[in-house]
Structure 1
């Protein structure tokens, strides 16, 4: 779904640090959440890094890329989506560490991250008077934005695993459940005129457990309720698709900036 910007917040497109919300946006977001789920497992198990080393490595990479993102003066597709991918992997690892290392129940993680996300939104709203992603034009707003994004990924991982594993729905049924909730959110926005900003954030949150469920369904062995395709092939397929789509967005962004500069 797309969210219309407020007239008072309209600025030249390159001053906003967040991409336009289109079908391509949602496709990359969904696939990045899947890569976050399968990528963390690939580094942890396939390459044998272990959970602690994988978390440290991903945390360092995220810090470096996020610093570059915050320093940039405009939206740069490859940089923005690199951060989304790293946040996706790191958010997954946050939940995995809580579950596997500290033995925190998934229901507790889900409740804690839900509460934390609500707190982030409350502080963001009271401070900036808007949660619109069309107004990410200051450093403080961008910090709020990426904090919310990180919490949504950790929350989505916990909620997806909770529904699929602890509640016993299985990965396919969890995928269908979260997909139906996203469809209901889109229906409410399109036909019932639900608030665009609220609808966006609900859909954004739900795409994380959707992607996590899809990743587990594709990679987990049949004995665990998956299709057994493995994390390597799944990561390669989704990463190639993401790179192609980000390349398309980069070309379109360059053309748009050239046209606006010329006019």
Structure 2
């Protein structure tokens, strides 16, 4: 076969970030807006992935439309798998990040032992292409887990959350220019483009009151999709990203062992600096989702959780919660159950609006509301447990 993947040019990274953003938005639209549900959405996209990947594998050369459509679907599928682990199976983001990193290391290890190369310029056989797409799938899952874990640790909102992956990618570009290993640099940047694209989409879609640009999810998705189609048409017509015959890139930079060792040390320093930044940010007052769903989320400071949400909405939630707490204290259990239903309905209706504004804060409140619902709706209600759960919710609401 001729090479089945594109040359790594500026166009490659532009369209990769665009695909990540559109994939994230589209999955959220089907899962949340249409009410399909996370598990069913994952099954749906797994089937779509099998069809699209089958088309990509059937081809004997790189075709931009097939390749980038596969990237979009893999992006969505990898994200959904991580979300299922976190939301449905209560696996902590720290654990899933570590597991996906280990799985990716195993994929690369087996790939190298079998093929003796990890270069994307050597994707000219079906086994190598299968390894390539498996690695891509795991990188999207890893990028999703690591990105969400970062948001949980720091409580960063739209805009600010874009800066860390963008800065790390810039550091990788600099390292590559000075001779860092090409394969390592490529896959590090590939992982980081996932949180960069997702955070960029959230920033564009979030309302101005939440420090976003206020474009909305629909407009953001349409604009990015149009940009993807335009770039794919351009690449199809110009063939600027087609790798020629053979295993080497047309303008491959000769590797220098000493520079590659220096580049590895440089990346280690960058990783330590990024880790120190995250440790510092995690210690600042912010909202943070608990890693263990059963133990419930934690709140770093009263009122901080709802900082990115419209004041009118949080006031409405506080009113309903306070009414429910008053009913519990008055011994009116049926009235409390009826009133808290209003909270559940209002919260579900506002999910599409509030969640993109601040995912970490939304997760905190969602956990608190779940705790309150369970306590009030218990088969044998315990007024003390109800009071504790409702008070914790009021604290989270400020």
Q: With the length of structure 2 as denominator, give the TM-score of the two structures.
A: 0.58
Q: Does 1:108 align with 2:95?
A: yes
Gap change, CA 1:254 and 1:187, over 3 Å in 2 = closer
Distance 1:130 1:226 in 2: 43
SS class of match (2:159):
helix
String of CA shifts for 1:179-203, please: whole Å, max 9, x gaps: 000000000111x211111111111
In the other structure, the counterpart of 2:113 is 126
Gap change, CA 1:255 and 1:140, over 3 Å in 2 = closer
Q: Does 1:18 align with 2:13?
A: no
Distance 1:102 1:202 in 2: 28
Distance 1:74 1:67 in 2: 14
Q: Does 1:137 align with 2:124?
A: yes
Distance 1:106 1:72 in 2: 37
Number of matched pairs: 243
**Alpha-carbon RMSD:** 2.0
Mapping 1:73-84, distance limit 5 Å: 73-84=60-71
Distance 2:134 2:211 in 1: 33
In the other structure, the counterpart of 1:95 is 82
Alignment gaps of 5+ in structure 2: 244-398
Gap change, CA 1:104 and 1:224, over 3 Å in 2 = farther
Mean CA deviation greater in 40-49 or 26-35: 40-49
Distance 1:221 1:64 in 2: 36
Q: 1:204 aligned to 183, 190, 194, which one?
A: 190
String of CA shifts for 1:27-65, please: whole Å, max 9, x gaps: 000111111221211111122222122111111111001
Q: With the length of structure 1 as denominator, give the TM-score of the two structures.
A: 0.87
Mean CA deviation greater in 53-62 or 179-188: 53-62
Q: 1:86 aligned to 51, 60, 73, which one?
A: 73
Deviation of residue 205 (structure 1)? 1.0
Q: Does 1:217 align with 2:222?
A: no
Gap change, CA 1:254 and 1:22, over 3 Å in 2 = closer
String of CA shifts for 1:127-156, please: whole Å, max 9, x gaps: 111110000000100000000000000111
Q: Does 1:44 align with 2:18?
A: no
Asked if the contact 1:175/1:213 (under 8 Å) is kept, the reply is: yes
SS class of match (2:239):
helix
Alignment gaps of 5+ in structure 1: 1-13, 258-263
Q: Flag the structure with more relative contact order, 1 or 2, with Cα contacts below 8 A and sequence separation at least 6.
A: 1
SS class of match (1:49):
coil
In the other structure, the counterpart of 2:216 is 230
Gap change, CA 1:171 and 1:256, over 3 Å in 2 = closer
